[in-house]
Amino acid sequence: MFKDHLKYLVCPKCRTKLFKSEFEIVRHIPRFVSSDNYAGGFGLEWNKHARTQYDSYSGSNVSEKRFFEETKWPKELPGEIILEVGSGSGRFTEHAASTRAMVISLDYSYAVDANFASNGAKSNVLIVQADIYNMPFQYGSFDKLFCFGVLQHTPLPGKSFMELPQYLKTGGSLVIDVYVKKHFSRQLLNSKYWIRPFTKRLNPEILYDITSKYVNFMWPLARLFNKLSYGRNLNWFLMIADYGGKFTLPDNILREWAILDTFDMLSPAYDYPQTLETVNQWFHDAHMTFVEVHYGYNGIEARGRK
């Protein structure tokens, strides 16, 4: 943590100025929660795959494209302050930081260590371990806030969403995405929901071991299936997160993504997909303006202004 980043932190309870002696800094990261929480599987996943989804690792522009197309923010934002909630390994932190805005990037799990390894040396990035329900920032202090792939993995997605707007300045931009809840008959075809009741209770290390062995074993067959029409759907049904044909990535990277995302389907403690109506209602209840809610990256994507 850079010394002058202390000014971005406040006491999460009383919102007054914080002194260095009032919170822990472990491995350069301010920590407001212990890592022993429901997001431990994410900590494991993002440290095992600290670089897998980084464009600077895969040689693609998958994360950059998603970040700018989903936020619709300009590529240059000097002087602005962005809050990222639920950063994982920090693959989007990299692109937020490229705008030259000050980026404050938070996660509940020890994924923050992976993010720090990639982005922590940048003077316009502050990485913090804290809980969406108790963030150590001043209300009304951010120009922009994004929260990708997180809300469905929190115990109360609607409550989590309602936490976010209060940190924005008036006129500030909020962008989220969340898994889509399909009709019951289609949800039944999503095999992860049959298996999760069992797998989410497994020790993450054991589950990761099983998942990587399974994906590695199935991979040659999955490549063959991928060539058939609907073969990619078949692979997903067989619990192999297959992005072949969707993203242009080398085979070894596709396999890494498959292990990462298969584990990501099976391990989270919470997985509560949402409908367009619910997300619209969230933005309405938060009195956001210029609201756009539609199907997009990762299910449903939504934008609004405070």
Ligand X SMILES: C[S@@+](CC[C@H](N)C(=O)[O-])C[C@H]1O[C@@H](n2cnc3c(N)ncnc32)[C@H](O)[C@@H]1O
Q: Applying CB under 6 A, which of residues 87, 115, 124, 267 lies at the interface with ligand X?
A: 87
Nearest to 128 by CA among 109, 100, 144, 147: 109
Residue from 30, 54, 77, 91 that binds ligand X (CB under 6 A)? 91
For 96, list phi and psi in degrees, rounded to 5.
Answer: -60, -40
How far apart CA 31 and CA 50 sit, in angstroms, is: 19
Per CB under 6 A, the list member of 150, 174, 178, 180 interacting with ligand X is 150
Specify the residue, 83 or 288, whose C-beta has the smaller distance to ligand X: 83
User: Does 110 help bind ligand X (rule: CB under 6 A)?
Assistant: no
| β-sheet with 125-129: strand ranges across | 24-26, 29-31, 125-129, 102-107, 81-85, 142-148, 168-178, 299-305, 289-296
Among 105, 124, 154, 262, binds ligand X (CB under 6 A): 154
Which residue lies nearest ligand X, judged by its C-beta? Answer: 88
Is 141 within 8 Å of 169 (Cβ atoms)?
yes
What is the C-alpha separation between 269 and 143, in angstroms, rounded?
31
Distance CA 291, CA 283 (A): 7
In the numeric block, which tokens belong to residue 71? 């936020």
Under 8 Å CB-to-CB from 139, ≥6 apart: which residues? 15, 166, 167
86 binds ligand X, rule: CB under 6 A: yes
Using CB under 6 A as the binding rule, whether residue 163 contacts ligand X is answered as: no
Stretch that binds ligand X, among 148-156, 180-188, 214-222, 248-256 (CB under 6 A): 148-156
Q: Per-residue contact track with ligand X, 14 to 43, x per CB under 6 A?
A: -------------------------x--x-
Q: Where does this chain touch ligand X (CB under 6 A) — which range of 149-157, 184-192, 242-250, 255-263?
A: 149-157
> 126 - beta bridge partners?
104
Of these, 80, 107, 113, 256, which contacts ligand X (CB under 6 A)?
107
Q: Smallest distance, Å, CB 299 to ligand X?
A: 12
Which segment (22-30, 87-95, 114-122, 229-237) binds ligand X by CB under 6 A?
A: 87-95
Strands 125-129 and 289-296: unpaired
Which residues bind to ligand X, rule: CB under 6 A? 39, 42, 46, 86-88, 91, 107-109, 111, 131-132, 148-150, 153-154, 264
